[in-house]
Structure 1
Amino acid sequence: MADSSKGSRKSWLIIGLLLVLTSSVTALAVYFLMGNASSADASEDAAAPVETPAPIFVKIDPFTVNIADGQYGDRLLYVGLSLRVKDQQTQDLLVDHMPQVRSRLLMLLSGQHADELTSPEGKTRLAAAILGLFEVPLTEPQPDLAISDVLFTEFIVQ
């Protein structure tokens, strides 16, 4: 009976060792497979960095406009701005029609009131109104203009 219990223990010990060994080998294989997959992904990410397109700006030379003010009479607005566009075609069209663009801006700006333009909200509304100027085509036929932002580079109300 002593021999049979020793044999039984020995077989259980071998089975336990085989289970531990199998589990270890499986865990090691999974670790290496997952480690190689993530390092391959990392090398692909490092090899192909995300290229952001260079921004395209159309600079509009600064100009001075008379604006109304209820308290002080006429005041002056000195403004310079740039338009951020998404493609070369839009840039070329705006540059080719710059006198027309400046005329539209002059008409819009001369209708503003000084007290509205001195607040950040007023400048935001003005930028939206400038974007609205380009809803009317500059020429016929005109491709879609891709203007994404109005940036004030100079802004003085005096």
Structure 2
Amino acid sequence: MATSKGGSRKLLWLMVILVILSSSVAAAVIYLVLDQRDGAVLASTEAVPERRAPIFVKIDPFTVNLADDAYGSRLLYAGLSLKVGDEETREILEEHMPQVRSRLLMMFAGKQAGDLTDPGNKQRLGDQVMAVLDPPMTDHQPELVIEDVLFTEFIVQ
């Protein structure tokens, strides 16, 4: 009987150890599965890009005499807004606004009224505005990030 009591105690201890081990493994698996699911939810929320407000630089309206001798004296009244990519570009443009306005006035003064009234030429005119503002206005100026030129007022008379 002594052997059967000792054998049954060993069997009992073996079963207790197996139950504890299987419970521990089950708990670890459940924890890992739930942790992965939480990680997937966090990853999906991180994948959505944060909405950022557009940055605009308003250029006050100006009037320019056009180079149009065929029709006499023609005028352009234009107001612009520049959509820029970062705050640094906005700051540079606002700090150098007299230079910006001068460059734009010189560019528009060389245009003819017929070129400005054609709707297809407005996009090309926007590209020319970006090209005029592309050269640096000061030494060691970082590259300007101008995304779009928006004409807010535009009258040819």
TM-score w.r.t. length of structure 2: 0.69
User: For structure 1, which runs of at least 5 residues remain unmatched after alignment?
Assistant: 1-36
Q: Write the letter of the residue equivalent to 1:129.
A: Q
| CA distance in 2: counterparts of 1:108 and 1:47, whole angstroms | 45
CA deviation profile, 1:3-57 (whole Å, cap 9, x unmatched): xxxxxxxxxxxxxxxxxxxxxxxxxxxxxxxxxx8xx978975797542211000
1:115 paired residue number: 114
Structure 2 counterpart SS, 1:133: helix
| CA distance in 1: counterparts of 2:141 and 2:56, whole angstroms | 20
| CA distance in 2: counterparts of 1:157 and 1:115, whole angstroms | 9
The 5 Å alignment of 1:6-155 reads 50-155=49-154
User: For structure 2, which runs of at least 5 residues remain unmatched after alignment?
Assistant: 1-36
Query: Which 4+ residue blocks in structure 1 deviate beyond 3 angstroms?
Result: 40-50
Measured at CA, do residues 140 and 44 of structure 1 come closer, stay the same or move farther in structure 2, by a change above 3 Å?
closer
- Please identify, of 106-115 and 134-143, the stretch whose mean Cα deviation from structure 2 is larger: 134-143
2:155 paired residue number: 156
CA contact (8 A) 2:62 2:78 kept: yes
| CA distance in 1: counterparts of 2:53 and 2:73, whole angstroms | 41
CA contact (8 A) 2:89 2:145 kept: yes
| CA distance in 1: counterparts of 2:156 and 2:53, whole angstroms | 32
| CA distance in 2: counterparts of 1:98 and 1:78, whole angstroms | 18
Q: CA RMSD in A?
A: 2.5
| CA distance in 1: counterparts of 2:126 and 2:66, whole angstroms | 16
Q: Write the letter of the residue equivalent to 2:133.
A: F
Aligned length: 123
| CA distance in 1: counterparts of 2:59 and 2:114, whole angstroms | 24
| CA distance in 2: counterparts of 1:119 and 1:41, whole angstroms | 53
Percent identical residues: 55
Structure 2 counterpart SS, 1:80: strand
1:13 paired residue number: none
